[in-house]
Amino acid sequence: MKPIVFLAMFISMLLIQPVFSQNKSLLNLKWEQNYTPTYDEVIEMYQLLDKNYKNATLLEKGKTDTGKPLHLFVINNKEEFDPVKIKSSGKSILLINNGIHPGEPAGIDASLWFADDILRNKDGLSKILDNTVIIIIPVYSIGGHLNRSAYNRSGQTTPYETGFRGNAKNLDLNRDFTKCDSENAKSFSKIFMEWDPDMFLDTHTTNGSDHQYSITLIPPEPDLFPPIMENFIREKFIPEIYSKMEQGEYDLIPYVSFMFRDPKLGINMTQEGPRYSSGFASMFHSYGMMTESHIYKPYPDRVKSCYQFIVSLAEFTSENSKKIIESRKKGIQESINMDVCPIAYELDTSKYQMIEFKGYETDNEQVSPLNGLKRFGYDRSKPYAEKIKYFDTWDPSEMAQVPEYYILPQGYTDVIERLELAGVKYDRLEKDTIIKVTVDYIDEFSTSQQPGNGHYFHNKVSTHSNVQDIQYYKDDLVIPVRQEKIRYLIEMLEPKARDSFFRWNFFDNILDQREYFSPYGFEENAIKYLEEHPEFKKEFEGKRKSDSDFANNHRAQMSYIYNNSEWFEKTWKRYPVGKIF
Ligand SMILES: [Zn+2]
C-alpha cells in the first residue's frame, strides 16, 4: 500500500470512529419482551459486570429477612471502593435503590442497563464517573422479589411476572426505614451511613392515576431541608432535571398526587415522612427522591424512561458535584445551629405554580364493560394538554424547641440499636446521677384499631411538659443534639413528631399504670394523708360540700385523694427521654 493511500485511510478511519471507546454489552436484558430478570439472574448479571470490569465491584452488605445478603454494586472510574477514600477524593456519591416494591421492577432493569452502559462507556457515559461514584442496590426486597407470580399486581399486565410488595416478613419496606423491623432496613441503614450518599434515588411504579406520561418524580421535598439545600432544590435541581428530561424521548412530570379527583383541579407535591425512603434521606441531608413509573404504560416504556431519568440524574450529579457536596456541608451546619425544628407540616394551598399537564379527561359516569354499571374512569380517546396548578409548598404546622441534650435510659435497647444504626454519637453517664430535665407527659393520643406494618401507630399525640429531678444511672445515654444527625434525633425522639419512635410503639410501656389503690385497703393511709395535709383536706371537704355526686361516691373520693397525693405515680405517661435546654 502506498504511504499516501494509507495515510488517507487512516484519516478517514479517525473521522468515522467515535471519540470514545465503547465495548459490547455483556447483559442479556429482555425488557423489550416484557420480561424482568429473576433474583438469581439479576445477581449473575452484576457478577458478570464485576468480573469483566476492574472499575466495578459487587459487595455483600449485611443480611436481609431471607438470610440472603443485601448486595451493593459500586462503580468508580478508579479501582477504589472504600467510601472513606472516595469521599476524601472529593467525589459525590449517587445511590440508586431498586425493587423495594418488587412488583415495580422498572428500576431493576434500568439500573442493570445503566451499569452496563456506563462501564462500557456507551455514548461517552463514563465521563460521569470523573466526579461521581454510582452505587446500586440491585434488589432491596429480596424476599418479595423471590415471591414471583403473574398475579402480584392486579392493574399491571407487563412484565408478565414480578415479585410481591411484602418482603419475606410481609413488611412494606417503604415504611420501615426508621422502625427497622426488617434485617433489610438495618442493612440499608449501615450502607446509607457508611456511604453517606449525596443523591439518592428509590425507583417505584404507581397505579394512582392515568395520564400520558411514562414516568413521574417525587423530588426531594424542599421544605424538609435547611434553607441552602431548599434553595438548591428549587432553583437548581428541579428546573435542570426537568429540562434534561425534556431533551430525551420521555417527558417528566411531578408525581400526580390529587388535590381533588381530577388533576385539572390541581396536584400537589407529596411530602414523604421519615418512614419512607426519600423522607429518610432528607433527615441526613441527602437529596432523596423517588421515581414513579406509570403502571398503564408498556413495560419497555417504563424501563426506557427510568433509564433516561437515571442518566439525567447521574449527569446532573456529576456536573454539579462540588455544589451538591458544598450545599450539604453548609446545610448540616444550618441545621446544627437551628433553635426550633419543624416536626409537622401542612400543604400551603395559597402557593402554587402553573405546569403543563398532558392528561386524559376524567369521566364520573364511565360504563363498566364488566356489568354495564357506571363508575369513575379516564377516557383515553380524549387526551388533553393544559396548564394546571402544582402546589409545591409545605409549611411547618408545629415546631419543637431544640434541646442541647437528650437523656435516654439504657433500658430502651431497641431505640439505642436504631440510633446506632443511624450513626448517632452519644456519651454514657459515668455514675448514677440525679439530673434536672424537661420531660413530656403524653396527654392525648389515638391509636389505630388495625395494625399497620406490624404496629399500632399512635395518631394525634398531645403533650405537656415540666421540669423534674430524675434519677439516671451509670451508662444511661447522654445524646448531644447539635450533631450531624440532629434532624434524625428530633424527628425520632420528639414524641409528637409525625414518625417518632413513640408513635411507632417503642415507648408503649409508659402508657398504662403500674400501681393503684384498693377502696378499703388505702383508706387508713388516705385519712392519715388528709390529716398531714390540712390545705388539701380543706379543698377535699369543699368539694364534698359543693358536689353532691362526689359527696355520695366513695370511690370518687378515694380516687381524688390518691390522684392528688404522692402515691400517684409520676412515671405514668411520662415520656422517658429527658431534655436539657
Ligand atoms: Zn412503590
- Tell me: the pLDDT tens digits for 516-535? 999 899 999 999 999 999 99
pLDDT tens-digit series, residues 424-471: 999 999 999 999 999 999 999 999 999 999 999 999 999 999 999 999
Residue 364, phi then psi, degrees to nearest 5? -75, -15
How many Cβ atoms are within 10 Å of 526's Cβ, its own excluded? 20
Distance in angstroms (rounded) separating the CA atoms of residues 341 and 350: 23
Identify the CATH number of the domain defined by range 11-337: 3.40.630.10
pLDDT tens-digit series, residues 209-262: 899 999 999 999 999 999 999 999 999 999 999 999 999 999 999 999 887 778
CA of 218 to the centre of ligand 1 (A): 12
CA of 287 to the centre of ligand 1 (A): 18
CA of 206 to the centre of ligand 1 (A): 6
CA of 481 to the centre of ligand 1 (A): 33
* Longest Cα–Cα distance in the chain: 125
CA of 105 to the centre of ligand 1 (A): 9
What is the residue-averaged pLDDT of the chain? 95
Residue 119, phi then psi, degrees to nearest 5? -70, -35
pLDDT tens-digit series, residues 188-211: 999 999 999 999 999 999 988 899
CA of 98 to the centre of ligand 1 (A): 10
Q: Is the pLDDT confidence value at 3 over 70?
A: no
pLDDT tens-digit series, residues 372-424: 999 999 999 999 999 999 999 999 999 999 999 999 999 999 999 999 999 99
Contact 415, 408 (CB under 8 A): yes
CA of 199 to the centre of ligand 1 (A): 19
CA of 453 to the centre of ligand 1 (A): 15
SS3 242: helix
pLDDT tens-digit series, residues 299-311: 999 999 999 999 9
Per-residue model confidence (pLDDT) at position 11: 52
Per-residue model confidence (pLDDT) at position 1: 46
Distance in angstroms (rounded) separating the CA atoms of residues 267 and 261: 9
CA of 319 to the centre of ligand 1 (A): 29
Reported confidence tier of residue 161, pLDDT bands at 50, 70, 90: very high
Q: Is the pLDDT confidence value at 552 over 70?
A: yes
Contact 216, 291 (CB under 8 A): yes
Distance in angstroms (rounded) separating the CA atoms of residues 333 and 88: 19
Distance in angstroms (rounded) separating the CA atoms of residues 9 and 556: 105
DSSP one-letter string for 156-223:
--SSS-B--SS-TTS--GGG-TTT--SHHHHHHHHHHHHH--SEEEEEEEE-S--BS-SEEEE---GG
Contact 146, 39 (CB under 8 A): yes
Distance in angstroms (rounded) separating the CA atoms of residues 527 and 519: 12
Q: Provide the CA 319 distance to its chain's centre, in angstroms.
A: 25
Cα dist. 109→102, 161, 302, 310, 505 in Å? 12, 14, 10, 11, 37
β-pair partners for 289: 201
- State which H helix or E strand residue 267 sits in: strand 267-268
Q: Which three cell numbers stand for residue 90?
A: 472529593
- Strand ranges (DSSP E) for 392-432? 394-401, 405-408, 427-428
Q: Is the pLDDT confidence value at 7 over 60?
A: no
Distance in angstroms (rounded) separating the CA atoms of residues 217 and 204: 10
pLDDT tens-digit series, residues 326-372: 999 999 999 999 999 999 999 999 999 999 999 999 999 999 999 99
Per-residue model confidence (pLDDT) at position 209: 86
CA of 215 to the centre of ligand 1 (A): 13
Indicate where the chain has its CATH 3.40.630.10 domain(s). Answer: 11-337
Contact 113, 303 (CB under 8 A): yes
Q: Is the pLDDT confidence value at 13 over 80?
A: no
Reported confidence tier of residue 10, pLDDT bands at 50, 70, 90: low
Contact 409, 506 (CB under 8 A): no
CA of 364 to the centre of ligand 1 (A): 27
Residues in the chain: 581
CA of 103 to the centre of ligand 1 (A): 8
- At which residue does the C-alpha cell 428530633 appear? 490
CA of 31 to the centre of ligand 1 (A): 19
Q: Which three cell numbers stand for residue 499?
A: 414518625
CA of 173 to the centre of ligand 1 (A): 9
CA of 202 to the centre of ligand 1 (A): 9
Q: Which residues contact 240 (CB under 8 A, 6 or more apart)?
A: 316, 320
DSSP one-letter string for 97-114:
E--SSTT-THHHHHHHHH
Distance in angstroms (rounded) separating the CA atoms of residues 77 and 257: 39
Reported confidence tier of residue 263, pLDDT bands at 50, 70, 90: confident
Q: Where do the H-state alpha helices sit in 30-105?
A: 39-52, 83-88
Q: Which three cell numbers stand for residue 453?
A: 406494618
Q: Is the pLDDT confidence value at 16 over 70?
A: no
